[in-house]
Chains A and B, each alone.
Chain A
Amino acid sequence: MQQPSPVPDSAAPLVDVVDLSVRFVSKDATVHAVNGVSFQLTAGEVLCILGESGSGKSVTMRALLRLLPETARISGQVRVDGRDVIAMAGNELARLRGGVASMIFQEPMTALDPVFTVGQQIAETIVRHEGTSWAEAEKRGLELLELVQIPSAKRRLASYPHELSGGLRQRAMIAMALSCRPRLLLADEPTTALDATVQIQILLLLRRLQEDLGMGVIFVTHDLGVAGEIADRVAVMYAGRFIETGPVVDLMEGPLHPYTQGLLGSTVHGGMRGQRLTAIPGSPPSLSELPTGCAFAPRCPQAMDVCQTSEPTERKPRPDRTARCVLVEESIQAA
């Protein structure tokens, strides 16, 4: 049985985000999609962003590569591999995307071009980013398909994306994302649309690739079980904020924030038959009219007066854990 790897603490961060906010401004409304997110990712670490639909997971991740539409207003600081992403010009951004950092999606066809074969697309990426010869790039393409365990890889290089089954297409997209040996892989629910027996194959593949290639990975999911299989560290997102972070084992065994506790109680798993689920009442707030105070207060069984008036600051009960809830005590600094 395998356990999450310990997080190296001395290395310089691969990703450094300070007070990131993203708003979408239009005539009718302002959507506060991300509201002050700060975190660091070390090289070789897997961070899962866990949250329900609309909580801001995808927008947070896209902001790291500035893959957001014109209407997005980004503030805060984002550094990837030491470089300031917010200040980057267009050509620098293009080099970043698919170079140092690349991204995979739930729907592989967002990343694959239907009119070119898998082999052509991979080779093209390699030639563009690294200026190798076409022959050299094609050779790497074959190695990549073998790396992601596509059977009869040679033959598959000549396949068009639509000729592949769901699982193979997902593998082809991963191969493409790895083509320039990224140090950072951003994965946005890459297994959500897959059947159970295929999902576990892709999760195990990603975990192995991450270890072998030493990549840092940010993995977005709404599924606690998926996070349990792949994360070193988990950040729980609610209404555009990281409301709790911590190592995966600690967080799943001892959640601190009432929302995380509710999420664990709501997640059906074996052995819950006959028990009433401890559902969280209500539904997440609209991001165009965020409540003042704690965004979870309208649904929180433990809410108090103070929760309605001011947004709880981030507490650090232990060096490796954070929570935004007034019930969580700040640790007393040991002498």
Chain B
Amino acid sequence: MSDTPRTRVQGTQGRSVLLDVRGLRKHFPIRGGILNRVIGTVQAVDNVSFAVREGETLGIVGESGCGKSTTARLLMHLIEPDDGTITFDGRVVDKRDRAALRDMRRVLQMVFQDSYSSLNPRLPIEETIAFAPWVHGIPKREARDRAHRLLGAVGLEPATFARRYPHELSGGQRQRVNIARALALEPRVVVLDEPVSALDKSVEAQVLNLLVDLKDAFRLTYVFISHDLNVVQYVSDRVLVMYLGKVVEVGPVDQIYANPRHPYTRALLASRPSMNPRQRTTEAPLTGDPPNPINPPSGCRFRTRCAFAEGVCSTAEPRLAASDAVGGGLDAHMVACHMLAPDSGHSKTVLASNTA
């Protein structure tokens, strides 16, 4: 494919940072035994930092349990972090600052994977969509008009669908309703947690097209979470790769997909089925499963599956750092691996200086 890079990518470069996340941490204690004592900790999100610019789509990828949904719930303040700060549009959001929290709950909205359980089964969908605007003081009539406009925007003819109940819709239609509901308070950022994962391929494509259209029409910013690397490549401007609660690599989408630097990102990309039956995959890039997130490996969490692991990888944690001469800034390609840190003591650090 020789398609020109989308203007969207360039268009967002000068924009300001809308969401700034620093040092986010969430550990869940695990209880067990007859005394129900704490027997371990899931380090679901551990020292995660990233920024999202106005108008861009930040993709978050990683395997099951790596902390994607926990990150989303922290962003939405559905759970409180153990540590770290979230700054929205220049204002630190703190749970004690009720006004800031309320504002943020309006301008930040979320769409979940499970289209069914996130809709009220006893309400016609127009009421589900109109509910939040109405709670926020918009007259009932106006809220319903808005619901109808949004149904139209997500491709559901209001005359046909407005009075239907969730069980009278297909999975793809329900996900459209969820998207309409998320847009009802005119948010600026939408956090989408696996929004198409439960959908069939033919319907997934419809919803992806829709999300692209809505983003332009309503000038939205997306945080798009998925385990599907192809979908993330399709929608994202920048991509963040997580492994066991840590960010291992982040950068512009073309950098991550054309020039992945972290051994995990490389393996993850190479694990995708080839889509070309004439050139099938001959060797699995990794062996074994991701380790148990309870009490993860010391040092680099990927070391138990990494072909390049050395002594230093078990004793020191690699820092997320710019991997090339382009240097810092929001468009930096950052990697957390000792091989890319010149003074780490890893024997293969040449990898970094060669390509920089």
Which chain A residues have a beta carbon within 8 Å of chain B's beta carbons?
1-4, 52-53, 151, 165-168, 195-201, 203-204, 222-226, 228-229, 231, 248-249, 252, 262-263, 265-281, 283-284
A283 touches which of B173, B277, B284 (Cβ 8 Å): B173
The reply on B282 being an interface residue by CB < 8 A is yes
**Which residue of chain B lies nearest to A284 when distances are taken between CB atoms in the complex?**
B200
**Chain A at the B interface: SS class:** loop
* Interface CB pairs A-B, < 8 A, 28: A3-B277, A195-B64, A199-B271, A200-B281, A200-B284, A200-B285, A201-B287, A204-B283, A222-B201, A225-B273, A228-B273, A228-B277, A229-B273, A229-B274, A249-B277, A263-B202, A267-B275, A269-B275, A270-B233, A271-B3, A272-B1, A272-B230, A273-B6, A274-B4, A276-B212, A277-B205, A277-B209, A281-B206
**B3 and A273 within 8 A (CB):** yes
Tell me the smallest distance from the CB of A190 to a CB of chain B, in Å: 14
A252 touches which of B277, B288, B292 (Cβ 8 Å): B277
**A195 and B277 within 8 A (CB):** no
Which chain B residues have a beta carbon within 8 Å of chain A's beta carbons?
1, 3-6, 63-64, 170-173, 200-206, 208-209, 212, 227-231, 233-234, 253, 257, 267-268, 271-290, 292
Complex Cα distance, B272 from A224, in Å, reads: 12
**B3 and A274 within 8 A (CB):** yes
Tell me the smallest distance from the CB of B270 to a CB of chain A, in Å: 8
Task: Knowing A199-B271, A223-B273 are in contact, say whether A249-B234 is a contact too (CB < 8 A).
Answer: no
Complex Cα distance, B268 from A198, in Å, reads: 10
Given contacts A201-B287, A225-B275, A252-B277, 19 further A-B contacts (CB under 8 A): A2-B280, A4-B277, A52-B201, A195-B63, A197-B285, A198-B289, A200-B285, A204-B282, A228-B275, A266-B202, A268-B228, A269-B275, A271-B1, A274-B3, A276-B209, A277-B234, A280-B206, A283-B172, A283-B202
**A266 and B280 within 8 A (CB):** no
**Chain B at the A interface: SS class:** loop
Complex Cα distance, B283 from A1, in Å, reads: 10
Residues of A close to B200: CB separation below 8 A? 52-53, 222, 283-284
Task: Knowing A274-B5, A283-B170, A283-B173 are in contact, say whether A197-B63 is a contact too (CB < 8 A).
Answer: yes
**B271 and A196 within 8 A (CB):** yes
